[in-house]
Amino acid sequence: MRFEMNRRRFLQLLGASAAGFLVTPWAQRQIAAATTTPPSPIRFTFDPTDPEVCIVPPPRKLTGDPDLELTLNAITDQVSILPGQVTQVFRYTGQLIQGNPHQVQAIPGSFLGPIIRARTGERVRIHFSNQLPQQTITHWHGLHVPETDDGHPRFGINPGGSYSYDFEIINRAGMYWFHPHPHMLTGEQVYRGMAGLFIVSDAEEDAANLPAGPFDLPLVIQDRTFDANNQMVYTMMGLLGFLGNTILVNGQPNASKVVFQQPYRLRLLNGSNSRIYKFGWSDGTPLTVIATDGGLLAAPVQRDYVTLSPAERAEILVDFNQWPEGTEILLKSLPFTGATPPVGSLPNGAEFTVMSFHVAAAQNTYLPLMTRSGSPAQASGIPLSPFQRLEPTQARNSGSPRPYVLYANGANWTINGRQFEMNGVASDEIFQLGTQELLEFINIPPGGPGSTIEIAHPMHLHGPHFQVISRTPPTDPTQYTNWLTVKDGYLDEGWKDTVLLMPGERVQIQIAFDHYPGLFLYHCHNLEHEDMGMMRNYRVDA
């Protein structure tokens, strides 16, 4: 049993961190696996012949010439995050082999991986090497790729191993990202620093004339807890997951940025393990949202705030010319209630500043936003993308969506009462290539009615993006009141790969299974829930 050696450690940890929740043996193993502190030597032993642990995909013959080719390494490293001692991290580094130098761009001073940029239709080849002391595998979150490129934990790569990903970008323009997906270690590896952005552009986006270059700011928002020696601390809060007390933007604490009085495109990714954000401007100015997980909306929408659960993205168009020179405007997370129990020193729903923007005079002439025809536009009036809404009558199960009930069985998170099985797929998890289906996620409290632990779940599907067809608010009065504190920030207008369900909420989605048959994952993107087994396979049959 691979975790036996950690038993003493998890018993210590149980005393320190169980936070009053029940912790099952399954969760105990996860806690044990997740809380050793780097840079210890090899921390996990595993038997590479154990089929539950590792199935190396057959060596593949790479054919044809890629448009973009790079190496990507998972390494242990030390970076300076806080004043004083350096912080031990896990991280991605990359080097361009073939393509345009701007396609692999390191973020200076950040532990985040390089920003990879490609255009729709391009062929990408990534030679990945695992230099971590534990197994890993890379998933391209939001990109629709064949199963052998999708980062399933059954293809986990042992320390010292490597794998060449080779896929075509079939997604539309949007901000996607990559992160590890190894069996039960995803939460820890992302936490230690393993995440990077994958930005796709296309002709439709070019035509929208959005702010570009220095006026296009990708912002990855994460929470961490540091100890007195500036090392990242990772301890479970029972069934909740993990919440840190220090907010990082692109790997930096107390983030601030000088911006000019010009329109900017802010691309937000909630890269946190369990934290939900309710983004708003400090002076109450509404947010103009132009894109979601899967790229541009049909047209911009205005929101007083934007709710982003782990892995969700939103793109905001903001004209800093609306504020006088010298203004300091804060991007905040506004208060909300009921997503999780209010535990930790910075609970989910606490109000805090994410980053500050200092408005400076435009250096050049003011560049107003343009419409496609080239005339200046109000942000709210710009047409963006004429994408089609999916039509529920086109689903083969129109009228009877497949239910997926989210609840804790004892203290194990489940989907329809099941936990993750490496190769397992149940009859209600099999779909037919070329068809559309309606799925309904149903968040009922752990233990069912009468239970007092209520937790939100951001549900994510690998493979094609989906559309939200409908939501049913909670019927319980307290859950309903809590739901009201986040629901106006949902962005159900766009293409999505992750959708938040507050306690008591139900969400219907529609998905078209196209392009690739195979075994793919769906799971809660609270990464601790995922590692605790709140993940399943689904299979698309050709």
- Residue ranges in contact with ligand C2O by CB under 6 A: 139, 141, 179, 181, 311, 460, 462, 521, 523, 525
Query: Where would I find the beta strands (DSSP E) of 320-395?
Result: 328-333, 352-360
Element at 73 (helix H, strand E) = strand 68-79
Q: In terms of DSSP bridges, do strands 436-443 and 402-409 run parallel, antiparallel, or are they unpaired? A: parallel
Residue nearest to Cu ion (CB): 524
Q: Which stretch binds Cu ion (CB under 5 A): 50-58, 63-71, 208-216, 521-529?
A: 521-529
The per-residue b/e assignment along 11-33, b for 16 or more CB within 10 angstroms, e otherwise, is eebeeebbeebebbebbbbbbbb
Residue whose CB is less far from ligand C2O, 29 or 462? 462
Residue nearest to ligand C2O (CB): 141
Could you tell which of Cu ion, ligand C2O, none binds residue 524, using a CB distance below 5 to 8 A set by kind?
Answer: Cu ion
Measured CA to CA, the distance from residue 197 to residue 200 in angstroms comes to: 10
Q: Is the separation of the CB atoms in 36 and 127 below 8 Å?
A: no
Determine if 526 is a binding residue for Cu ion (CB under 5 A): yes
In the complex, minimum distance from the CB of residue 177 to ligand C2O, in angstroms, rounded to a whole number = 7
In the complex, minimum distance from the CB of residue 212 to ligand C2O, in angstroms, rounded to a whole number = 26
Could you tell which of ligand C2O, Cu ion, none binds residue 224, using a CB distance below 5 to 8 A set by kind?
Answer: none
The torsion angles phi and psi of 6, rounded to 5 degrees, stand at: -95, 5
Could you tell which of Cu ion, ligand C2O, none binds residue 526, using a CB distance below 5 to 8 A set by kind?
Answer: Cu ion
Q: Is the separation of the CB atoms in 253 and 82 below 8 Å?
A: yes
In the complex, minimum distance from the CB of residue 311 to ligand C2O, in angstroms, rounded to a whole number = 5
Neighbour-count burial of 315, counting CB atoms closer than 10 A to its CB (0-12 exposed, 13-18 middle, 19+ buried): buried
In the complex, minimum distance from the CB of residue 186 to ligand C2O, in angstroms, rounded to a whole number = 8
Residue whose CB is less far from ligand C2O, 438 or 461? 461
- HSE of 414 in the Cβ direction (CA atoms, 13 Å)? 16
In the complex, minimum distance from the CB of residue 142 to ligand C2O, in angstroms, rounded to a whole number = 8
Binding to Cu ion in span 140-169, by CB under 5 A:
141
Q: Which residues are CB-neighbours of 530 under 8 A, at least 6 positions away?
A: 186, 187, 523, 524
Residue whose CB is less far from Cu ion, 104 or 524? 524
In the complex, minimum distance from the CB of residue 151 to ligand C2O, in angstroms, rounded to a whole number = 7
In the complex, minimum distance from the CB of residue 306 to Cu ion, in angstroms, rounded to a whole number = 20
Contact letters (x/-) for Cu ion, 453-492, by CB under 5 A? ----x----x------------------------------
Residue whose CB is less far from ligand C2O, 154 or 179? 179
Q: Which residues are CB-neighbours of 28 under 8 A, at least 6 positions away?
A: 10, 14
Total residue length of the chain: 542
In sign, the C-alpha dihedral spanning 355, 222, 169, 123 is positive
In the complex, minimum distance from the CB of residue 139 to Cu ion, in angstroms, rounded to a whole number = 5
Query: Closest Cα partner for 431 from 509, 530, 492?
Result: 509
Could you tell which of ligand C2O, Cu ion, none binds residue 179, using a CB distance below 5 to 8 A set by kind?
Answer: ligand C2O
Residue whose CB is less far from Cu ion, 73 or 526? 526
Neighbour-count burial of 393, counting CB atoms closer than 10 A to its CB (0-12 exposed, 13-18 middle, 19+ buried): exposed
Could you tell which of Cu ion, ligand C2O, none binds residue 181, using a CB distance below 5 to 8 A set by kind?
Answer: ligand C2O
Binding site for Cu ion (CB under 5 A): 141, 457, 462, 524, 526, 529
